[in-house]
Chains A and B, each alone.
Chain A
Amino acid sequence: MNTQYSTLVVERNGPVGWLINDRPEQLNAMNNEMRDEFADAWLELEADRQVRVIVHTGNGRAFQTGVDVTEIASDGVGMERYRQSLEDFDLHFTAWHQEVTKPVITAVNGLCAGGGFHWVADADIVIAASDAQFFDPHVSVGQVVALEAIGLLRKMPFEAVMRMALLGRHERMSAARAHELGMVSEVVDPPERLREVAQELGERIARNSPAAMAASKRALWRALELGLTDACSAGAVDLVSMWGHPDQEEGPRAFAEKREPRWTVAD
């Protein structure tokens, strides 16, 4: 059953698990509690055998607007804890941090600002409502842009990321431009259809072999760590790792029999 969180909503809809930012009054900014709940929610959905794909979105007019600095800076321990986790690079709030092996779709429902880019950079697939807007105000308030932008610049043209980093709050990127640049792969118009489109996209992905997707995801993300030849060598191991897996017989058989495959999901 769905665990109760106070800053997130976790839901299931068929094969799709939903992780929804739920601090709409604070534009879904992340306070200490939310940061802890993220760590648990990702692992809960990752462990659920019924969940084949995870969609991450937000309630209200914002997707995510980064760290709730007001709270983290004022509760006495928050800032020190945050500093320590950064210095150790011991973070647990995105799917990438939590080593989620299932496909993750980020569905950007509105404003995505600053630290909100963590969940764009660290998702496998990103779609956006047509009225979504992206900007990174860090340098406009004397903060450094680092981790989110570093993740993004591996995945899209560098110049656009640097422009956002240096313009700060003095410019916003539209969903249309994000689509042109390949930061998102689909813009949903009207924006109200975002969740419906994300669910349908999740269901299409859920028709594919979970084991093959997990190994593919591992190979592709690891490629961001390595040079080309090393990434291929490591990827070859992932590739061969599926040989002998029952899905490799079931896939072609189902195709020949014109039926949906019955994938084997490991315990």
Chain B
Amino acid sequence: MTSDGLLIERHGPVGWLIFDRPDAANAADAAMLGALESAWAELDADPHVRVIVNTGNGGSFQTGLDVVQLASDRDALREQSRRTRDAELRLTAWHCGVATPVIAAVNGLCAGGGLHFVADADIVIAASDAQFLDPHVSVGQVTAYEAIALTRKMPFEAVMRMALLGRHERMSAARAYELGMVSEVVDPPERLREVAQELAERIARNSPAAMAASKRALWRALELGLTDACRAGAVDLVSMWGHPDQEEGPRAFAEKREPRWTVGGTDA
């Protein structure tokens, strides 16, 4: 529990990172921007947290930088401007090198910089009334990072259309599902957190070490050509050989019981 616009909760094996500035549509002010990096690090370092769900309180998921607040906090604005210019953002799980699987559960409006958290998540689900838009160009700003990541992960045309339409069009959760930007639409929307928790618990039944190596291999593949990505991925693959989970997994399956995975050198 923090007062910087973020909530951290734990429910069983699932860590929750919740945007909590509902009156500001969860726009990121200086405090939230400063708190994100340590929030991700806290959850990633917690051995009891096997999966992280990222969502928002209120009617919005995330709507990007709170430009009004930042304009009144010159030091914070200068620091975020520098990080943006130097590509040193520390907002998302990807920026922060999080090894734990991350589910974005889009609970409502996702606008502009909010798309960072969609683009940089491993899995994205959305409430049926969620909406996506990127208003940057409607206020004279450039769309770059969020959209670049999205173009690697879904059909390009849809991303470019969002970038060029700005605030003059919104994408529905249904269309996001069709395009593969999200893999599940939750209806009624009130069930979003329940579904996210249940999805995360299913993922938490898998080997943490194997998931971390798989996640590393798949994200790295966005950096390289196909053959180079496969070569690098083969190293990740072989890196698990000899890990106790590789004996425990088949044994548990044969004995029809849940596996007892090894986390950080000890039985979990």
Could you tell me which A residues sit within 8 Å of B by CB distance? 69, 83, 86-87, 89, 138-147, 149-151, 153-154, 156-163, 165-168, 170-171, 180-182, 221, 224-226
Contact = CB atoms under 8 A, between A and B. Distances in A.
Interface size range on B against A = 35 or more
B214 A145 contact: yes
B222 interface: yes
B144 interface: no
A150 B203 contact: no
A256 B247 CA distance: 65
Given A166-B122, A225-B227, A87 B238 contact: yes
Nearest to B221: A150
Nearest to B207: A142
- Interface of A, secondary structure class, is helix
B218 A226 contact: no
B123 A166 contact: yes
7 contacts: A139-B207, A139-B210, A142-B240, A142-B243, A146-B237, A165-B211, A166-B123
B209 interface: yes
Nearest to A136: B214
Among A83, A86, A143, A145, residue most surrounded by chain B Cβ atoms (within 10 Å): A143
A156 B180 CA distance: 8
Contacts of A144: 210, 213-214, 217, 236-237, 239-240
A225 B243 contact: no
A181 B180 CA distance: 6
A196 to B, nearest CB: 29
A141 B254 CA distance: 11
Nearest to B241: A83
Contacts of B263: none
- Interface of B, secondary structure class, is helix
Contacts of A161: 218
Contacts of B205: 140, 168, 170
A59 to B, nearest CB: 25
B153 A142 contact: no
A140 B215 CA distance: 14
Interface of B: 101, 121-124, 152-155, 178-183, 199, 202-203, 205-207, 209-211, 213-215, 217-218, 221-222, 225-231, 233-241, 243-250, 253, 259, 261
Contacts of B231: 89
A90 to B, nearest CB: 10
Given A142-B259, A144-B236, A150 B210 contact: no
Given A158-B153, A163-B123, A149 B217 contact: yes
A165 B240 CA distance: 15
A165 B217 CA distance: 11
B112 to A, nearest CB: 20
A220 to B, nearest CB: 12
Given A89-B234, A168-B206, A157 B218 contact: no
A151 B234 CA distance: 12
Nearest to B209: A142
Contact of B217 (A142, A145, A163, A182): A145
A167 B226 CA distance: 24
Contacts of B180: 156-160, 180-182
A184 to B, nearest CB: 13
Contacts of A157: 153-155, 179-181
Among B154, B181, B218, residue most surrounded by chain A Cβ atoms (within 10 Å): B218
The 3 closest A-B pairs by CB, nearest first: A157-B180, A142-B245, A141-B249
Contacts of B206: 139-140, 166-168, 170
B248 A87 contact: no
Given A141-B207, A159-B124, A166-B123, 19 more contacts: A86-B238, A139-B207, A140-B259, A141-B249, A141-B250, A142-B248, A142-B261, A143-B246, A144-B236, A144-B239, A146-B234, A153-B221, A157-B154, A158-B153, A158-B154, A159-B182, A161-B218, A168-B206, A221-B226
